[in-house]
Amino acid sequence: MALSVVSLYRDVLPRTNCRDCGFSTCMAFAAAVVADQHPLSGCPHLSRETVERLAPELAAQYADHRWTRRDMQQDALVYARERAAKTGLTDLPGRLGAEPMTLPDGSAAVRLPFWDKAVLITEKGMTAEDGSELPRLSATFLYNHLAQGGSRPPTGKWIGFESIKNTVSKQKSMQAHVVSPLVKRFSGRVGLLKERALKAGGVEAAGEGPTADLSFLFRPLPRVPLLLLFWDAAPEDGMEAEAKVLLDETITEHLDIESMLFLCENLVERLSAGD
């Protein structure tokens, strides 16, 4: 018997809405069990026998993704990994500016620096060089870079995210997740921003791009630099602080639009570390 939300609610649960499970109704609990794999044993009013009897059916429908909420992040990771699998290991150094190497067991690998760490790419996939677990979003980002990365090195000509084709729908995200947090956190605190930028691996770059109160160059990936510009507030002139992250004109060869946004958000996270 397949267990839908309705059948679990109607045929199995006590329907008293007592809230002892932490959910406001039995129906909400049923939805959590069916769609989000919340443990059925979370309802203390079900007998152990009932929970054990239904466990195989629930496990089977979870395995079939029947009624479960789609895990979008996992889908994105699988898609990115499949994209990357179509590319050869041997052309990665030339395309991404990564380093070819040989592992102790004699197998070939490629080392790709990523912020202050690095990942090792082999025929089997990608792992963090330091053995730590690679966060799922970072892995997705890197697999997409592996698949897309072109060979053209940065030219030093900076462009704004808004000038890149097809970014209109992402402008709000850039404002909300990159520009606004930077302005809010560092307005009137340029010294703190400088300190954080240095700690995050940035290099002062006053001669790069438009003139700003603070200019910092970051190189999260060998072929993908970011230029952070910050203008502090000038209350006496009625000016609010402004921030901008510029990308090299070759960026579309190396990253898709979602990945550009992810990288800029990554920068904000790094600058906010320690708050």
Binding residues for ligand SF4 (CB under 6 A): 13-14, 16-21, 23, 26, 29, 43-45
C-alpha closest to that of 178 among 93, 255, 270: 270
Of the pair 43, 255, the CB lying nearest ligand SF4 is at 43
Of the pair 22, 100, the CB lying nearest ligand SF4 is at 22
- Plot region of 126 (φ>0 → left; ψ -120 to 50 → alpha; else → beta): beta
Query: At 55, which amino acid appears?
Result: A
Q: How far is the CB of 26 from ligand SF4 (least distance, A)?
A: 3
The residue with tokens 């809010």 is 184
Q: How far is the CB of 12 from ligand SF4 (least distance, A)?
A: 9
Of the pair 5, 190, the CB lying nearest ligand SF4 is at 5
Of the pair 24, 163, the CB lying nearest ligand SF4 is at 24
Q: How far is the CB of 3 from ligand SF4 (least distance, A)?
A: 14
Beta strands 242-248; 158-160: pairing state: antiparallel
Q: How far is the CB of 69 from ligand SF4 (least distance, A)?
A: 19
Of the pair 13, 271, the CB lying nearest ligand SF4 is at 13
Q: How far is the CB of 4 from ligand SF4 (least distance, A)?
A: 16
Phi–psi pair at 16, nearest 5 degrees: -100, -10
Contact status, residue 86 vs residue 65, Cβ threshold 8 Å: no
Residues 6+ apart with CB under 8 A from 139: 77, 80, 81, 126
C-alpha closest to that of 171 among 18, 115, 163, 125: 163
